[in-house]
A and B are shown apart, each in its own frame.
Chain A
Amino acid sequence: DTAVSQTPKYLVTQMGNDKSIKCEQNLGHDTMYWYKQDSKKFLKIMFSYNNKELIINETVPNRFSPKSPDKAHLNLHINSLELGDSAVYFCASSQFLSHTDTQYFGPGTRLTVL
């Protein structure tokens, strides 16, 4: 059983288009995240939702809009795509505990903007 899944795996699109990436987790976790991994493999947090509430919103262009319809899903919509948006986007989930919480990652979506 896949714990954290993302669709699509690959996304190739033209500049200026709007696209969405979907994420689902079946771990029963209450917190979900979006990360961007650049060409140098550096992972940077973009957004996080806890129980459908936005709790982390890093300095990300407002062309990026996350949406969490329920605790098990977190989608990422990107408007007016730019060349610099090309990267691998990872979804992750965790169960927030008082001590710490381990994040589990999906397989990634490779976005290429032409």
Chain B
Amino acid sequence: EDQVTQSPEALRLQEGESSSLNCSYTVSGLRGLFWYRQDPGKGPEFLFTLYSAGEEKEKERLKATLTKKESFLHITAPKPEDSATYLCAVQTPGTYKYIFGTGTRLKVLA
């Protein structure tokens, strides 16, 4: 069965303390891996799409990487406004469906 697991479930960082979030997946094939940010009371906001192992994408303090089994979202020198839940989703070939992980709740303290 296709599965997506995110870790850690929750993460508290001091402002400026870099870290990484993990998204591991077990799927029959990968069409795309997606990272979203979700703020309380809002819908998920698209961050990145990764298609193949070795690919990397960057946006401000965020960098997403992909291997054959997992993806990392690296946060460099985070700020309090980076606090949110980060969701990972995978899409398998021949389907429109996303399979979401349960998310990582990130809290960055000033």
Please give the residue numbers on chain A whose beta carbons come within 8 Å of chain B beta carbons, in ascending order. Answer: 4, 31, 33, 40-45, 48, 50, 55-56, 90, 92, 94, 96, 99-108
Query: CB distance A102 to B44 under 8 Å?
Result: no
**Inter-chain contact B100/A42, CB cutoff 8 Å:** yes
Q: Are A43 and B87 in contact, CB atoms less than 8 angstroms apart?
A: yes
Contact A4 B43 (CB under 8 A): yes
Partner of B51, one of A41, A43, A100: A100
Q: Shortest Cβ distance from B42 into chain A, in angstroms? A: 6
Residue contacts A-B, CB under 8 angstroms, 13 given: A40-B102, A42-B100, A42-B103, A43-B87, A43-B100, A94-B96, A99-B32, A100-B91, A101-B91, A101-B96, A103-B98, A105-B36, A107-B42
Give Cα A42 to B32, complex, Å. 19
Flag if B91 contacts A31 (CB, 8 Å). no
Q: Is the CB of A96 within 8 A of B42?
A: no
Which residues from chain B contact A105 at a C-beta distance below 8 Å? 36, 43-46
Interface size in chain B (residues, C-beta < 8 A): 23
| B residues with CB within 8 A of A | 31-32, 34, 36, 38, 41-46, 49, 51, 85, 87, 89, 91, 96-98, 100, 102-103
* Residue in B closest to A43 when the chains form the complex, CB atoms: B100
Q: A48-B97, A55-B96, A103-B98 are in contact. Are A43 and B44 (CB under 8 A)?
A: yes
Considering the complex, give the chain A residue whose CB is closest to the CB of B31.
A100
From A50, A92, A108, B42 is in contact (CB under 8 Å) with A108
Contact A48 B96 (CB under 8 A): yes
Bound Cα distance A40, B10 (Å): 12
Give every chain B residue within 8 A of A102 (Cβ-Cβ): 32, 34, 46, 49
Q: Separation in Å of the B12 CB from the closest CB of chain A?
A: 17
B51: A residues at CB distance < 8 A: 99-100
CB distance from B41 to the nearest CB of A (A): 8
Q: What's the nearest-Cβ distance from chain A to residue B37, in Å?
A: 11
Query: Residue A108 contacts which of B43, B46, B85 (CB distance < 8 angstroms)?
Result: B43
